[in-house]
Each structure stands twice: as structure tokens, then as C-alpha cells.
Amino acid sequence: MTLLQSRSDRATRAAANLEHSSPEERRRRRRVRLILTVLGLACLLAAVAYLTYDVRGSWDYAMDLRTRQVGSLLVVGAAVGASSLVFQTIAGSRILTPSVMGFDALYLLVQTIIVFFFGSATFLMMGVAERFLINAGALVVFGMLLFRWLFGRNSRNLLVLVLVGIVIGSLFNSLTSLASRVLSPNDFLTLQDVMFATFNTVDGDLLWIVAVVCVVGLLALVPLLRYLDVVDLGYDSAIALGLPYHRVVTLTLAVVTLLVAVSTALVGPMLFLGLIVANLARQVVPSHRHTDLVLGSVFVGILATVGGQFVVGHLMDNATTLSVVVNLVGGIYFILLLMRTVRL
């Protein structure tokens, strides 16, 4: 990181010189701080409301269950929000997220392979930690290989990235569908239980481990944010400003892969959550600085998960799942963004 700091001094100085301490700039900064403060308070209120709303029976039991649920919602919202926004910066597109690139499809394929080869009895006998390690390990390896291949050169061709994501996702989904068709009814029912993200049965010990990993990942992302401001200018501009582009991209993608892998392995796939959160954050937070954007994306992600689960679980009495709602809304949003990109 010392080499990265020394080689990119010129880039960061050039980016800083673009922002003068004018009255308009000071007003804009105050507005950004106000918006982030409001988002943070809204996250706090949403968490308190989820914990205390309509508690019946034993408070000790309710608080133990809801605390684990809120913890998982906070971890997933923060991890998906931060990772999706910085991934969009590296990809140079607002319609791409790690989930769209095939992470969720691979998660489903891994579950199907386990049930297909070893049966539902073995799958159910596996501990939560064992399944988490298998899922997280497969996602990390896949992410590093995929991103190294896609971003190993200076290309950020949107068409190539979209096509690769579609092809990989379709391949994994086809293999999942093929394997699930030959399963016995009992094995198929067991597999259906893990096809959708759930926040109701998160293991407490595993949640602490994932929370620590996500906090470490977010902290590792902090010193890279100012360099991402320069990366956002494009490959040629970043190189001209003296930024070690490939080193920054490699470190950032490593953190992104870790955050996405552990959050997906913890609760399951939520395909379009990152797409919704990252784009809403860019619209709500009027700033081009990734320090502001990533923090805003974390807050928006927490609001989306905690607020969404509050509506689904408490107000709709678990008539559906949060992942179904997110995929429905996110699928429509993805099509609209894709159509807008094509027109541009």
C-alpha cells in the first residue's frame, strides 16, 4: 500500500485540485453531510422499529430472534451496498453488479450439486459452518478467476461484460435446472428451501464471523476509495494521472469478492439487491466522491434490507419473502436501466 500511495500522489492531488473551496462547493458538502446523517438516522430507526414492533410473548425470546435477524440484515445490506457500488465504478457501468455476473447462479448450482451427488440426507446433516465454508470458498474462487480474466487488461467494454454475465448466469442456471429435474421429490423439496434468501434462521455464531469479515473488508476498502475517484475517470485518464490502475483494481476486486461471497453464503441469493441499492445511492447522494457514495450505498442497503424485511415479515405476515420482492422490483429496474443505456 505504501507503493500505491507514493505512485498515486499526483493522481490524488489532481483530483483534489478540481474541487475549490467555493461557496457552492461548501453548500454542496453541507448538503451531502445532511443527507448522509438523515440516512444514518433512518437506518437506526428502522432497526429499532424492527426489534420492538408488535412483540408478543417473551421479550427475551423475541429479542434473541430479532437481534440475529437484524444483524444479518445489517451485514448483508452493508456488504452488498458497498461492493456493488465500487464494482460498478470498476466496470464502468451502472447496470452491472457481482450478482448479475453470476454469483447468485453459482450459489444455487453449488447447492444443487451437493444434493445431486450426496442426497438430501447428507445435505441436511451438514453443519451450518460446513455449508458456509463450501459456498463461500466456491464463490471466492469463482470471483477471483472471473474478475482476473475480465479486468486483467485495460478493457471495460460494457457489451463484453454484459454478455459474459448473461452467458455465465445462463450456464449455471441451465446446469441447476438439469440436475434438479432428475432429483427425487424429497431431494427437490430440500433444495427448494435454500433457493431463496432467508433471514429468519441465521446461525448466531456464524453471523458473528461473517460480521467480522465484512467489517474487515469494509475497512480495507476505505483507503482505496479516493483512488476509485480517479479510476472512475477511465483507464487512460487514470494512467495519465499516475495511478497504478491494475493494482488498485485488483485490490478492490479482492475486497468485493470477499464481501459478496460471505454475504451470499450467509443468507442466500438476492440477485438485484445490489443493482437497486447502488443506483439509488447515486441518485440520493449528490457527490462524485466514493467516500460519500459508498457510505450512502451502505445506508441505502441497510434501509432496503431492514425496511423491506419489516414490511414483508411484520406488515405482510411473511406472505412472501424479501428476495422475491427484490427480484421482482430489481428485474423491472434492470430492464429500464438497460433500455436507457442502449438509448444513450
Most confident of 63-77, 89-103, 151-165, 321-335: 63-77
pLDDT of 295: 94
Weakest-pLDDT range from 66-70, 119-123, 282-286, 308-312: 119-123
For 223, which DSSP code?
G
pLDDT of 153: 56
pLDDT of 21: 58
Q: Where are the domains of the chain?
A: 2-343
- Give the model confidence (pLDDT) of 177-232 as tens digits: 888 888 888 888 878 777 776 777 777 778 888 899 899 999 999 999 989 988 88
Side chain identity, residue 188:
F
pLDDT of 176: 87
pLDDT of 291: 92
- The sign one gets for the Cα dihedral 226, 154, 216, 128 is positive
pLDDT of 156: 55
The phi and psi torsions of 199 (rounded to 5 degrees) equal -115, 5
Cell of 163: 454478455
pLDDT of 340: 73
From the list 82, 18, 5, 91, the residue with the least C-alpha distance to 288 is 18
- Split at pLDDT 50, 70, 90, the class of 322 is confident
Q: What is the mean pLDDT of the chain?
A: 81
Whether residue 274 has pLDDT greater than 80: yes
C-alpha to C-alpha distance for 57 and 59, rounded to whole angstroms: 6
- Give the model confidence (pLDDT) of 7-38 as tens digits: 455 545 544 554 445 778 778 888 999 999 99
**Mean pLDDT calculated for residue range 120-128:** 78
Contact 306, 46 (CB under 8 A): yes
pLDDT of 146: 80
What three-state secondary structure class fits 102? Answer: helix
CATH of domain 2-343: 1.10.3470.10
Whether residue 57 has pLDDT greater than 80: no
**Mean pLDDT calculated for residue range 64-75:** 89
Side chain identity, residue 321:
T
Quote helix, strand, coil % in the chain, to nearest 5.
80, 0, 20
Most confident of 13-27, 51-65, 150-164, 221-235: 221-235
**Mean pLDDT calculated for residue range 302-318:** 84
The phi and psi torsions of 93 (rounded to 5 degrees) equal -150, 145
pLDDT of 293: 93
pLDDT of 215: 92
